[in-house]
Structure 1
Amino acid sequence: MATIKVKLIKSPVGKPESQRKVVEALGFRKVNQVIEKNDTPQIRGMINKINFMVEIID
Structure 2
Amino acid sequence: MSADVKVTLVRSHIGKASSVKAVLVGMGLTKRQKSVTLKDTPEVRGMINKVRHLLKVEE
Relative to the length of structure 2, the TM-score reads: 0.92
Q: In 1, distance between residues paired with 2:58 and 2:4?
A: 11
User: Which residue of 1 is the match for residue 29 of structure 2?
Assistant: 28
> Greater helix percent: which structure?
2
Q: CA RMSD in A?
A: 0.9
| 2:20 aligned residue | 19
Report how many aligned residue pairs link the two structures.
58
Give 1:28 deviation, angstroms.
0.8
Which residue number in structure 1 is paired with residue 53 of structure 2? 52
* Structure 2 residues not aligned, in runs of 5+: none
Distance in 1 of aligned mates of 2:17 and 2:4: 28
For the residue of structure 1 that corresponds to 2:36, the secondary structure is strand
Query: Any unmatched runs of 5+ in structure 1?
Result: none
Q: d(CA) in 2 for partners of 1:19 and 1:28?
A: 11
TM-score between the two structures when normalised by the length of structure 1: 0.94
The amino acid that maps onto 1:9 is V
Measure the CA separation in 1 of the matches of 2:51 and 2:44.
11
Percent identity of paired positions between Structure 1 and Structure 2 = 34
